Structure 1
Amino acid sequence: MDSMERKHEICGPFIPRRNALTKTSAEIVSEARQSLRVPSTQRPFTPRDGHRQLFGQSSARAVVDNRPPSTFSLHAQNFDAPDSRPGSGTRLSPLDHKPKLPVPYDAEDPSRALPKPPTDPLETKRGLAGVRARLLRAGSLTTLPPVEGKTDVKQGLNAGPGQKQPSAKRLSSSDHSGHHKPGPRRAASESRIKQPVDDSGAKPTACRAEQRTELGPEENTTRTEEDAGAVVWNNVIAPLLQQLESVAAGSSAGSLDCLCDLCDSLHRTLAEADLLGRRCKRRSGILRTLFRLIDLNSAQLNLQIAKLCLSLCVSGKNLLNICKLVFQISRSESNDALFQNSSIIDSLLGILSSEDVSDCGEALLYSVGALKFLSGNSAILRLLLDKNCIGIAQKLIRRLCRAEDSNSTIAGHILVQLTATLRNLADHPDSRPLFVSFYILSELCDVLHLHRKDQDICTNISRIYSKLSSYSECRLALAQTPDCYQLFLDLLSKHHQKQDLVVRLLFTLGNLTAKSDEARQQLFQCTGCMDTLLKLYDGYQRRENTPEMLQRGPPSPRMPSTLQEDEDVLVKLVRLLANMCIHSTVGPALATNTTCIQLLMETLELRSVQESEELLVNVAATINNLSFYQEGNSVLTHNQLTLSKLVLKLLLSSSIDAVLEATRVYGNLSQSKDVRDYIMQNKVHQFLVMLLDSKSTEMCFSACGVLTNLALDPPSRVKLSLGGAAAKLVDCLKDLGPGDWQLAGQVCQALWNMMSGGSEMLLDSEERDSLLEILITYSDDDEALRWIKNEDMRDYHKACWELEFLPVASKLIKTLKPPDPTA
């Protein structure tokens, strides 16, 4: 009896140990488990737009009249056949110098106004191109031979009947040596007298042959290439064009396939002859033929035509129309296979890489729009990654940002398509390293700075961030971007009514603050951080949608979806607050923020677990984190009893997650005597005892924590023992203890408090012997660790066993052992 009546020290209330001088790995894990937690949530769902359009129905541009259209018609007449190269776009400034005229201007006699130009072109044009320039290079105009000597260049190359044609050797020799038959010298103008028409019947090619003998190496090569090109044109290209026209004029069933094959053959022929781009002098004829085929309205053929036209480097209006044509084909999901088996994607990426925004902005817009549609196809998405689409997009983003001042409207339209494409690319796991290596996350922050007023761009970028911020390497890259936290807060404040933008920015911030104490502090220190977040909380609380309001009548068709969207904002916002509370400086500040605590309590009061389970679970997690900071000026300290009443509906709900979070909240709140009395008076302890049968280590751990605090009060110990709490704790220790020594230690603490003052007498002898045997067995080093199958976790479990379980178990063993009669 002496041992049973022996007084022993009661374990302190269930409260985590912090700021210890030395911490083992077990203590660190214990703190995270017992107190502050990071709630989890799902990424906001983004439904795919069923209609492929440049700007979807939810776009802010839907009401803009001058936005580029998604639907249009294209015909052959829309294209320019000559396809002349567009101007450079550079305008020369006018000269300030005004020449003085030697003769005054006479309005009555215009002929006296300006001097006449020289009649002899040689007086004004000293350099002559081609053959004549080289023939005249050796001597000056003053040493030209006389006509009688038949050594005049013009005359020698166009010899009349009966005249012998001079050879190239003789011409060269007489020019260089200067030896010729003397004769009268003629004026320069006389040396230009036209020779009579050649009636000798000599073919013109003979003249050209003589001229080619004087060509230099470069000119000779060019002329040879031109002759080779003419051969290819006459023998291959021209017949292909004729075939295209003849087949297009027919109406056979297989004509479209034949036309596609002919276009492919034409493409290969031009490539083999090195006539793609603008090399082919007769490209306008090719383009004219191709443009006429567009009216056949075949997606497969038009894609072949577009590919060939882009290879021929069409420009200006034709480039725009070809990009529109490709965009039009890409709008139909059934045409995705055509792109997958074609190199047209390379051509589109080439346009993104080379074309200038100011000159070809609209062509770029439709090119990126087509890629946006195609990136929704998983197979093409893989192709885009392999073709360095992300790297090309990064360079285009920089060019668009530089073009902001000159053409902001079209740059904004292009960025909407480009960010939507990157949003699709972010879905692929292989894209994440590329987003990091190309600094896309930081580049997109620059875009947000420039286009913070554009809701479409901001929403697309927020979708990219919400997808990628779930992964550690992307979170790190985004967190290293200067001022990203302040930027997100500014966007939240500016677009607070744009739900899909707000929810994704909050989700991104929640991911950034989930595992980084530095991120929590940086966000909290931003200008207007808490004001912005709490205004959002207040705006999305939806107080008018209480059960009483909903009972007045059926809601409007849009009302349920709107309620769900608003609640999703609150879920992400409350999760962010819970993460921020973990910081040792931010937590106490929020615990003293009256507005924050009142909003959380109001949510618990307005919402039901059945309709808002995830929201209430996150609210309970946030309150649990805030309740850790039990300081004198804490708002929670003054509202502990009210919170206990609000949390009770979570504990009594059918949601396992809600019950677990409510139990954790009671674990902290039950440090207060008023809260413990409330729990016992409302028989909440009976429900907590039942949770020991849940077979869940987390649930049993939290319930044991509350029971440990309740057993501090003698009246409560008696009620707990009479309710069978001690027997339930013994069973919990026996079943779950060897796999979780933190739980085993918490069970021992609850038993130690309950057995104070002789309450161990409520255990019958069999139960006492069973408990003693369990404790002795678990206290053996080798026996305890043999339960651990994972060798990597062996050291961790050993530390937990030594720190959490063994000290309390040793005291219980001494209490339960019968006294030695010989002592």
Structure 2
Amino acid sequence: MEVINCSDSPKWYLCSLAGDLEAITAASFCCCCLEDNVESLCHACDSLYQALEEGSMLGKRFKRRTLLLKTLYKLCDIASDPLGLKLSKIILGLKVSGKNLLNVCKLVFKISRNEKNDSLIQSDQILDSLLDILRSEDLQANTEAFIYCIGALKFISGNTSLIHEMLNKGTVEILVQFITQINEINDNDARFCSSGHLLVQLTATLRNLVDLPQSRCKLLSYGAIPELCLMMEKRVNDKDICTNVARILSKLSSFNDCCSALADCSRCYILFLALLNKHPKKQDLVVRVIFILGNLTARNNQAREQFFEVQGSINTLITLFQTHCDIDSKLCKDDSELRSLKHFSEVEDVLIKLVRVIANLSIHPSIGASLTTNHQIVALLIQVLEYKSVEKSEELVINTAATINNLSYYQVKDSVILEKKLRIAELLVKLLLSNNMDGILEAVRVFGNLSQYHEICDFIVQRKVYKFMIALLDAKHQDVCFSACGVLLNLTVDESRRTVLDEEGAVKKLIDCLRDFGPTDWQLACLICKTLWNYSENVTSAGPCLEEEDANTLLILLASFLEEEFALDCNFDSDLRDHHKLYWESEFKPVAQKLLQRIQN
């Protein structure tokens, strides 16, 4: 075959009509001519690859392989992504190694960075070539090439179509195997440092893959979670690797099965606390680690105990809480444009997740009782309510009120919540005045716990807070009615305060709540009956405090609710039906019978 010069016809082919491979390898090329014929070259590359594949000449079996590779590498100088991909596919198909493998991986990496090339990558099936490298080549001998290879996979995994293809072709399994292999490298081994860059690309790829439900199943079945934890422990000084793994685990921990697998890693709490202490200013790492801890401690008491028992765990939370609270409060006071910066929302995001962890921990009886006596934690929670508003920081304020509610449940010696109860009550009034029903509900719940104390009952009466509680009976919201009724019940324990129910038509509203919610919530019905029982004692010697109309309505309701056939006629599942019956028999029925008898008499 004669040499093609620039003066020859621009339409020419790497493959002759007969697929003469020897002629192809003998040809020489002039790039200034070829750059204008990319489309023809791409078509020629397709023909060449097909000819090699059909002739079983891929790999190292083709006798003129060296000459062909030399030709192909010369074509790589042409600045064309479509051509570069096709050339890469052929070169990788010829099983190059060493520097040649590194160079072609760099080329694919460069092309894959541009998302506009995703369709080319998919049509040329370059993914198969990349995965074949990872399956067949030695990691230690080709570490740098693997960095670019997995880096290309990272960019490819950003495409929703290609990511499913990656999953189906075993990418997750390959990556987990590499993690396990790298984890076996000793810290003192020279390969330990060189594999760090590879792990950055690998974990970034896995971070994209983990969004798919099928990936989560594979990660569980291949034991990826303990390997990821081990990787973080060994690479605790590498912020990039730790951040990527934290992103992976934060996504996984949102699912029960994955969260359980993470909790089974005995050292995970020590690891996460070490990361928080090591990188307290690494915002994206801190927020994800705290999110993971929030998911772990949300599940069960064992997880709460394991976290709490780690030495310095609460002090770490307090330090982070104090640091971010100080930054956040300064930003809130700043009248400049700082308040609108991303940093402002990032700091608040950490606070939201920190408060959630404390709220979860406080569910545990002994831990909650301990936290209730912690001056620093209570002071920080109060500080949040002081400088934050539910209108601008809804989630943070509501989470904070919910945490105070949890802590206010524990009536223990040296409780800081009880010590600061009047200040807390003042701050909760601000929340009651908002238009946020979730915030109002949390405030009412706290008042429900604190109204067991005379000082708070006096506060409720003096500040007319009871009027809010009465008004909330009209909310037609079961949880709100339950909490508001709890406050009114505590108020009516003292005979001198029972007259508050005469205002705003409270008795009628309580009866309406009983009618609306009684048949589906016997705990609420019991609470209403207890409140009416307290109220129905004579306020003075003048006579009964229930009006005749209210008394007659109550007689009818109670009589019907005490009939078992009527009371338990609800379409619940068997388990719920059993609970429903238990509450009716043990809680509602005894109180309702006494109240009915009192009214009848």
Q: Give TM-score scaled by structure 2 length.
A: 0.92
Indicate whether 1:538 and 2:319 are aligned.
no
Matching of residues 142-181 of structure 1 within 5 Å: none
- What residue number does 2:101 align with? 319
- What residue number does 2:44 align with? 262
For the 8 Å contact 2:19–2:51, the answer to whether it is kept is: no
Q: What SS does structure 1 have at the residue aligned with 2:341?
A: helix
Match of 1:562 among 335, 339, 343: 343
**Relative to structure 1, is the Cα distance of residues 423 and 548 closer, same or farther in structure 2, using a 3 angstrom cutoff?**
closer
Residue identity matched to 2:585? E
Indicate whether 1:783 and 2:576 are aligned.
no
Indicate whether 1:636 and 2:417 are aligned.
yes
CA distance in 2, matches of 1:591, 1:305: 67
Match of 1:504 among 284, 288, 309: 288
Residue identity matched to 1:359? A
**Relative to structure 1, is the Cα distance of residues 262 and 241 closer, same or farther in structure 2, using a 3 angstrom cutoff?**
farther
Indicate whether 1:363 and 2:363 are aligned.
no
Matching of residues 549-698 of structure 1 within 5 Å: 549-550=333-334, 553-556=335-338, 560-698=341-479
- More helix by percentage: 2
CA distance in 2, matches of 1:484, 1:341: 42
Deviations 1:290-326, CA, capped at 9 Å, x for gaps? 1222233222221111111111111122111100110
Shift of 1:243: 8.0
For the 8 Å contact 1:442–1:478, the answer to whether it is kept is: yes
- What residue number does 1:179 align with? none
Residue identity matched to 1:778? F
CA distance in 1, matches of 2:532, 2:552: 14
Residue identity matched to 1:776? A
Indicate whether 1:815 and 2:598 are aligned.
yes
Indicate whether 1:471 and 2:247 are aligned.
no
Match of 1:461 among 227, 245, 260: 245
Residue identity matched to 1:769? N
Shift of 1:579: 0.5
Indicate whether 1:704 and 2:485 are aligned.
yes
CA distance in 2, matches of 1:246, 1:532: 66
Deviations 1:407-450, CA, capped at 9 Å, x for gaps? 34431111111111111111112211111111111111111112
For the 8 Å contact 2:324–2:351, the answer to whether it is kept is: yes
- What residue number does 1:284 align with? 66
Indicate whether 1:492 and 2:276 are aligned.
yes
- What residue number does 1:344 align with? 126
For the 8 Å contact 1:260–1:300, the answer to whether it is kept is: yes
* Higher mean displacement: 511-520 or 590-599: 590-599
Match of 1:293 among 64, 71, 75: 75
Residue identity matched to 2:571? I
Matching of residues 30-41 of structure 1 within 5 Å: none
**Number of paired residues?**
581
- What residue number does 1:224 align with? none
Deviations 1:661-682, CA, capped at 9 Å, x for gaps? 0111111111111111111110
Q: What SS does structure 1 have at the residue aligned with 2:213?
A: coil
Q: What SS does structure 2 have at the residue aligned with 1:341?
A: helix
Indicate whether 1:797 and 2:575 are aligned.
no
- What residue number does 2:7 align with? none
Shift of 1:625: 1.0
Shift of 1:241: 4.5
Shift of 1:649: 1.2
**Relative to structure 1, is the Cα distance of residues 345 and 244 closer, same or farther in structure 2, using a 3 angstrom cutoff?**
farther
Shift of 1:796: 2.8
Q: What SS does structure 1 have at the residue aligned with 2:544?
A: helix
Max Rg structure: 1
CA distance in 2, matches of 1:799, 1:642: 39
Matching of residues 111-510 of structure 1 within 5 Å: 236-241=20-25, 249=33, 255-403=37-185, 405-510=189-294
For the 8 Å contact 2:538–2:545, the answer to whether it is kept is: no
Residue identity matched to 2:547? D
Q: What SS does structure 2 have at the residue aligned with 1:602?
A: helix
Residue identity matched to 1:678? F
Deviations 1:136-166, CA, capped at 9 Å, x for gaps? xxxxxxxxxxxxxxxxxxxxxxxxxxxxxxx
- What residue number does 2:589 align with? 806
Indicate whether 1:765 and 2:539 are aligned.
no
Residue identity matched to 1:572? K
- What residue number does 1:521 align with? 305
For the 8 Å contact 1:546–1:606, the answer to whether it is kept is: no
For the 8 Å contact 1:708–1:753, the answer to whether it is kept is: yes
For the 8 Å contact 1:779–1:809, the answer to whether it is kept is: yes
CA distance in 2, matches of 1:548, 1:422: 37
Shift of 1:746: 1.6
Unaligned runs of 5+ in 2: 1-15
* Higher mean displacement: 730-739 or 782-791: 782-791
Shift of 1:462: 0.9
- What residue number does 2:11 align with? none
Shift of 1:794: 2.6
Q: What SS does structure 2 have at the residue aligned with 1:346?
A: helix
Shift of 1:279: 1.8
Shift of 1:790: 5.4
* Higher mean displacement: 577-586 or 753-762: 753-762
Match of 1:742 among 523, 527, 530: 523
Shift of 1:512: 0.5
**Relative to structure 1, is the Cα distance of residues 671 and 547 closer, same or farther in structure 2, using a 3 angstrom cutoff?**
farther
Shift of 1:686: 0.2
Q: What SS does structure 1 have at the residue aligned with 2:368?
A: helix
Q: Give TM-score scaled by structure 1 length.
A: 0.68
**Relative to structure 1, is the Cα distance of residues 277 and 251 closer, same or farther in structure 2, using a 3 angstrom cutoff?**
closer
Q: Which has the higher contact order (CA 8 A, sep 6+)?
A: 1
CA distance in 2, matches of 1:246, 1:497: 55
- Alpha-carbon RMSD across the aligned residues, in angstroms, is 2.3
Residue identity matched to 1:624? N
